[in-house]
Structure 1
Amino acid sequence: MKRNVLKWVLMLAVCGLTTGAFAQSKLTDEQKEELLAKMEQYRAELNLSDEQQEMVKSINTAYFEGLAGLKASEGSKLSKFKKYRTLSETRDEQMKQVLDKDQYKRYKEMQKEMKGELKSRRK
């Protein structure tokens, strides 16, 4: 019961934040395309319901808005990294509330795959 109430409160908070984010989006067209591509990948690989799609879209939009703001911000690499870590942890917690156990497990696997791809690109 508590988990359901928490899930709905979290969903409403995210929806409220993303509504304002769309009105004054910091995302470039390229970042918006990346967001849409990521949403399509999640929808296909995680087999999301319509309700889950909307919540995941809100979560990812807030995350990408945060990343865009972080890239434009001033500060040390360490402070930016800490903010990035907070954004990622918040996103993971929200995704955990929206996805079932199998979907969340696949979501984490997808993240590991993406990290591996990024590392191989850097070399």
Structure 2
Amino acid sequence: MTPNDRKIEALRRRIPSFTCVVGCHDCCGPVTASAEEVARLPIKTEEEHAAALAELTCPYLGKHGCEVYNERPLICRLFGTTPRLLCPNGKRPVYMIDTRTEDEIHAFLKHTRQVLL
């Protein structure tokens, strides 16, 4: 496990969770993720990526929601947990993410190679 993998795991543990509206995919748009996070995901074809981008969705969004939910990138985990990325349906954890953790996540994303999903 690389230092970045360890950092991802540590940050994931600090992001609060909540229950989404069933069937909602409002936050499942094109995003970037670190190369380490992308390496954990199944490989998608260029055609699958192009089709998702044309629809402004994520190539891992399937008929029943996120196909990689347990391995979803940090940015996906942030949606709904911070005032900067509010859920359009008003869902949220009991306690929003602390600003220190959110700042650490953004710093990590800024300093790692990002790949468009």
TM-score bin, normalised by smaller chain? 0.3 to 0.5
TM-score, normalised by the number of residues in structure 2: 0.33
- Between Structure 1 and Structure 2, the one with more strand by share is 2
**Structure with bigger gyration radius:** 1
Q: TM-score, normalised on structure 1?
A: 0.32
